[in-house]
Amino acid sequence: ETGVTQTPRHLVMGMTNKKSLKCEQHLGHNAMYWYKQSAKKPLELMFVYSLEERVENNSVPSRFSPECPNSSHLFLHLHTLQPEDSALYLCASSQAGEGNTEAFFGQGTRLTVV
Amino acid sequence: AQRVTQPEKLLSVFKGAPVELKCNYSYSGSPELFWYVQYSRQRLQLLLRHISRESIKGFTADLNKGETSFHLKKPFAQEEDSAMYYCALMKTGANNLFFGTGTRLTVIP
């Protein structure tokens, strides 16, 4: 599959569960991102990885833990979430550098915390 | 801190009418600005960026630094333009995109 792929597409979890979201990109990009999309709020940038190093952590609670084992894969580990964490989580990738800053997005994972 | 404002959550226009989606930003440096679009059941994708100065699907957007605006315009709206539109800002030399809340455009046949 080409582009940016996110799994699972839908996830329902209890507040005491531990789960992980996965993102994979087949575009040869060197930067990957996690965004949170809640109703009535702008897309919130959560984490940025560039060349597999975390370069931005946008004041995200520690119950969200990202992992970038290589330039093609990005995970978001979830534990002890709250109902207000229910949202659409979007992954994106781009080729960091001048002149080519287009971000390519996945379809998202719809997370519901019960 | 950077901020992107899209004042209209919903915008409806008739087919063939002009359309303008407003975007204002605040940022102390010289940002890169983008418009992203999300059609029904499709993923978010880039529509255009200000540095390209190009017209995509009949849409144009001009960066007005004096008014700190980047409004998206099209002279004649089409039904297939109905979608969610997001204005986004990237800080100079950074890899992070900051988005507005989006405007849902509906083109009425």
Quick one: which of A56, A31, A54 has its CA closest to A46?
A: A56
What's the CA gap between A80 and B46, in Å, rounded?
34
Give the other-Cβ count within 10 Å of B34's Cβ.
Answer: 26
pLDDT in tens, A13-49: 998 889 999 999 999 998 899 999 988 777 888 998 8
For residue A2, is pLDDT > 80? Answer: no
Q: What are the tokens at B15?
A: 């087919």
pLDDT classification of A100: cutoffs 50, 70, 90: low
- In chain B, which residues have their Cβ closer than 8 Å to the Cβ of A104? 45
CB contact under 8 A, B95 and A41: no
Q: How many CA atoms lie within 13 A of B11 on its CB side?
A: 25
A46-98: per-residue pLDDT in tens? 998 887 777 777 789 999 999 999 989 999 999 999 999 999 999 999 887 65
Assess whether pLDDT exceeds 60 at residue A1: no
How many angstroms separate the CA atoms of A24 and A91, rounded? 9
Distance from the B70 Cα atom to the nearest Cα atom in chain A, whole angstroms: 17
Gap from B35 CA to chain A (nearest CA, Å): 10
What pLDDT is attached to residue B2? 78
Residue B60, pLDDT > 60, answer yes
Q: Per-residue pLDDT for B92 more than 90?
A: no
Q: How far is CA B54 from each of CA B38, B51, B61, B65, rounded to the nearest angstrom?
A: 19, 8, 8, 18
Phi-psi region of B53 (alpha: psi -120 to 50; beta: other; left: phi over 0): left
Query: In which band, very low, low, confident or very high, does the pLDDT at B10 lie, cut at 50, 70 and 90?
Result: very high
- Separation of alpha carbons A101 and A23, rounded Å: 19
DSSP-based three-state secondary structure for A18 = strand
Q: Is A50 on the interface with B (CB under 8 A)?
A: yes
CB nearest A42 (choices: B45, B46, B99): B99
Per-residue pLDDT for B1 more than 70?
A: yes
Query: A11, A22, A19: which is closest to A106 by C-alpha?
Result: A22
How many CA atoms lie less than 13 Å away from B41 in the CB half-sphere?
0
